[in-house]
Amino acid sequence: MLYVWKNNTTVITHNQVACRQEQYFRNANSFVPERWLFRKASIDGSTKNESSDKWNKPSPFLVLPFGFGPRKCIGRQFAEMEIYVCLAKLLRNFQVEYHGEDIETVTRLINVADKPMRFTFIDTDE
């Protein structure tokens, strides 16, 4: 499929649409966060591909939140590291619980929860 765009055309993709295509993911409309884990670490620290199955290797160009090429976000690695460190500290220091109602998503420019999500953080040091 070939698209021709005029100069200065702004193109915006919607990740929810792209990520719910059966051509990219088996059971594309199901909640399967593991689909984003490209490699699995073994006990010795090495990594290996789970499978050569095309559904285990989504295209690296399917979702580009930080852009690509010479104009990509220069803060990508910093932002990703901040997310990992923040999550690691939260999960190390707290037990996180959610006892609320089931959450549905509402699609705007991005997906948001349809109601407030109230989590309980229990300090693991106590």
Cα separation, 81 vs 77, whole angstroms: 6
Sign of CA pseudo-dihedral 75, 76, 82, 85: negative
- Distance separating the N- and C-terminal Cα atoms of the chain: 59
Extract the runs of DSSP E, i.e. beta strands, from 5-52: 39-41, 47-49
73 annotated ligand-binding residue: yes
Task: Kindly provide the b/e burial profile for residues 71-98, where b requires at least 16 CB atoms within 10 angstroms of the residue's own CB.
Answer: eeeeeeeeeeeeeeeeeeeeeeeeeeee
Annotated binding-site members for heme: 73
Annotated binding-site members: 73
